[in-house]
Structure 1
Amino acid sequence: SNYSDTMFLFDWLNDILVSFGFRNKDAKLLFLGLDNAGKTTLFHMLKYNTLKVYEPTIQPNVEELVIGEIKFKAFDLGGHETARRLWQDYTATVDGIVFIVDSFDRKRLPEAKKELDELLMLGEVLGEIPVLVLGNKIDIPTAASEDELRYELGLWNKLDREGPVELFMCSVARKIGYAEGFKWLSSYV
């Protein structure tokens, strides 16, 4: 059964590349966001097609995932200058950025906005790198709506940057919304 599990996993990972539009592409994607936004959960979902709830990470946590020729790398942002330093180290080699926001945690939206602003202000470093913003946890009834999130994150006036930036609402737990976001991203990669 181990063999069939492996085959299933391979099929699943191949399906991901196809459904996300990344088949036959070679890209490095950087996942950023505050801790607890859903990066680790999304990684686990991408890797195993199952949900696992994680304890919030204490330190800036770096994770890597490779599917086919696509390399995913994630780390937490939020007040640590190490994240900024790390950030400067990685942008040169990145093809796309996924910025994940917890749309349920309204108290931290200003903090998420601050990190996103700093990210998008790195215009000369970022150039035309596409930025996919995922508003996660829409399965929670009291989560912010798409309009509210656009407003809170100041995304209405971000459209003048060099590279494309777009918001997609999603629920990693319910497996909805993020595939569309990745499809959008893959069209620029």
Structure 2
Amino acid sequence: MFDWLWNLLSYLGLYYKNAKILFLGLDNAGKTTLMHVLKDDRLAQHVPTQHATSEEVILGNVRFRAFDLGGHEVARQIWRNYYTNVDAIVYIVDANDRERFPESKAELDRLLADEQLSDVPFLILGNKIDIPYAASEEELRTALGLHHLTTGKAGAPRGMNARGAKDVRPLEIFMCSVVRRMGYAEGFRWLASYL
């Protein structure tokens, strides 16, 4: 009924959805780089994240508070402290670091099994596809055990996957290169439809 007003307000920048999003993944996956590219379109070398940081980012009509919690082993122990009122998880995987796929899968499995996150949408970004011999989407999907968990890139009604199964959290994988600024925009558009 008020779609025209919603679209007009969004177009004019007068309306924003607000969200709290956690950027999670192992160290060196590209979380901090992605956050800075989204915030101020700036690429830079970053030291490993030692302490949780947060930034406000606006993408389309979604204004979100992004939390980069770090990915080294000690930092992963505090992730749980940030689950309260979280609207989405962006889980980033270094698609070129096959040796760490089992470790990344174990962390993702822990997140997906956590009751506090049972209804939270998950955007999984396979980063660094600009590096020769990085994993393909199919290889990463298999390594992370996601074949029967994803909801489809076109999106599906909340609570259903692409095959029509009910009571499934929105979850999808998108391949990207943060440094080449490709692939992640599609993922965030997908995610925004569930916020």
TM bucket, shorter chain: 0.7 to 0.9
Alignment-derived partner of residue 136 in structure 1: 127
* Count of matched residue pairs: 164
Runs of 4+ in structure 1 displaced over 6 angstroms? none
Q: Tell me, in whole angstroms, the C-alpha distance in 2 between the residues paired with 1:42 and 1:99.
A: 11
| Percent identity of paired positions between Structure 1 and Structure 2 | 51
Structure 1 residue 70: Cα displacement: 1.4
2:24 maps to which residue? 32
> Could you tell me which residue of structure 2 aligns to residue 72 of structure 1?
66
Higher RCO by CA contacts (8 Å cutoff, separation 6 or greater): 1
Task: Verify: 1:185 aligned to 2:191, yes or no.
Answer: yes
- 1:107 is paired with a residue whose SS is helix
Aligned to 1:171: 177
- Which has the larger displacement, 64-73 or 142-151? 64-73
Deviates more, 1:65-74 or 1:166-175: 65-74
Q: Choose between structure 1 and 2: higher helix proportion.
A: 1
In 2, Cα distance between equivalents of 1:77 and 1:36: 8
Inter-partner Cα distance in structure 1 for 2:29 and 2:87: 22
What amino acid sits opposite 2:100 in the alignment?
R
Partner of 2:157: none
Amino acid at match of 2:71: L
Deviations 1:11-39 (A, max 9, x none): xxxxxx98xxxx61110000000111001
- Residue type of the alignment partner of 1:180: E
| Residue type of the alignment partner of 1:65 | E
Root-mean-square deviation (Å): 2.0
Within-5 A mapping of 1:1-189:
24-57=16-49, 59=50, 61-68=51-58, 69-80=63-74, 83-84=76-77, 86-122=78-114, 124-159=115-150, 162-189=168-195
CA shift at 1:51, angstroms? 1.2
Letter in 1 for 2:36: H
Residue 93 of structure 1: SS of its match in structure 2?
Answer: coil
In structure 1, what residue type is equivalent to 2:125? L
Q: Which runs of 5+ in 1 are unaligned?
A: 1-16
Kindly state the Cα deviation for residue 154 of structure 1 after the two structures are TM-superposed. 0.7
TM-score (norm 1): 0.80
Q: Is the 8 A contact 1:78 1:111 kept in 2?
A: no
Alignment correspondent of 1:7: none
Deviation at 1:78, TM superposition (A): 4.3
Q: TM-score, normalised by structure 2?
A: 0.77
Q: Distance in 2 between matches of 1:49 and 1:79?
A: 29
Q: 1:28 to 1:135 in 2, by over 3 A?
A: same
Q: Partner of 2:42: helix, strand, or coil?
A: coil
Q: 1:170 and 1:49, CA in 2 relative to 1: closer, same or farther beyond 3 A? A: same
Query: 3-state DSSP class of the match of 1:156?
Result: coil
**Inter-CA distance 78–158: structure 2 relative to 1 (3 Å threshold):** farther
